[in-house]
Amino acid sequence: MAASFDLDTATAELAARTAEFVRNVVVPEETRSGMSLHHADEQLRHNLVASAKAAGVYGPHVPKEFGGHELSLRRLAAVFEEAGRSLLGPLAIQAQAPDEGNINLLDKVANAEQRQRYLAPLATGEIRSCIVMTEPDGAGSDPNALATTARRTDRGWVINGRKWFISGAHGASFGIVLARTSGKPGAVAAPRCSSSTSTRPD
């Protein structure tokens, strides 16, 4: 059976509205401010997010409970393509790396408290986040080389290690840290969990 990549009407309309929004609102702002992704100030980001919400194009990937469109991956591709025509476009719809991925991850694994504390303000565009993986001695391409450790205590976790190349760390309200709770760098650990299937079938 041949695969169809035709868009449904609602997604095609959202992609067209996103293209129009980027052309009429975001690109002029990019030209005026001279700012781009990871160099935009928070005020500009907040203004763009507010404009995207007013135009109904905010958060194509964001769960509906936080005001997004909750699209499947295939539909997202069409909308993200239009947002990406300006470096500030993903910022306006909160789809810039790593926030898009962090929203997706938290939506799948966060408990009720984490959902409220981290996912809600991130998904609504109130704050930014970062992902803290890469280390000077590996653990970039190869997470198996992770040397940063996380140890449980009665008051929380103690994390020890060095990280670098963390995009958007400056100004991020929180970071998702990759650290090991057991084993040694380089040793192949048995998988602790299996990947979950998408809850947004196409």
Ligand X SMILES: Cc1cc2nc3c(=O)[nH]c(=O)nc-3n(C[C@H](O)[C@H](O)[C@H](O)COP(=O)(O)OP(=O)(O)OC[C@H]3O[C@@H](n4cnc5c(N)ncnc54)[C@H](O)[C@@H]3O)c2cc1C
DSSP string, 61-89: TS-GGGT-----HHHHHHHHHHHTTSTTH
Q: Report in angstroms how near the CB of residue 74 gets to ligand X at its nearest.
A: 26
Q: What are the backbone angles phi and psi of residue 125, rounded to the nearest 5°? A: 85, 10
Q: Mark the segment that binds ligand X (CB under 6 A) among 5-13, 28-36, 62-70, 136-144.
A: 136-144
Site string for ligand X, 85-124 (x = CB under 6 A): -------------x--------------------------
Q: 23 with 89: CB under 8 angstroms?
A: no
Strand partners, 180: 149
Residue nearest to ligand X (CB): 140
Tell the residue number behind the tokens 């309200």, with chain if given: 173
- Residue 3 DSSP code: -
Nearer of residues 141 and 194 to ligand X, judged by Cβ: 141
Report the alpha-carbon distance of residue 111 to residue 5 in Å, rounded.
Answer: 35
Among 10, 42, 157, 165, binds ligand X (CB under 6 A): 165
Q: What are the backbone angles phi and psi of residue 178, rounded to the nearest 5°? A: -95, 120
The reply to whether 166 sits near ligand X by the rule CB under 6 A is yes
Among 96, 129, 134, 148, binds ligand X (CB under 6 A): 134
Tell the residue number behind the tokens 């959202």, with chain if given: 14
- Looking only at residues 139 through 158 of this chain, which bind ligand X when binding is defined by CB under 6 A? 140-142
**Closest Cα to residue 123, out of 79, 61, 43, 199?**
61
Among 132, 146, 172, 179, binds ligand X (CB under 6 A): 132
Q: Report in angstroms how near the CB of residue 40 gets to ligand X at its nearest.
A: 16
- Tell me the number of residues near ligand X by CB under 6 A: 13
Q: Report in angstroms how near the CB of residue 142 gets to ligand X at its nearest.
A: 4
The count of other CB atoms within 10 Å of the CB of residue 111 is: 8
The reply to whether 130 sits near ligand X by the rule CB under 6 A is yes
Binding residues for ligand X, rule: CB under 6 A, are 98, 130-134, 138, 140-142, 165-167
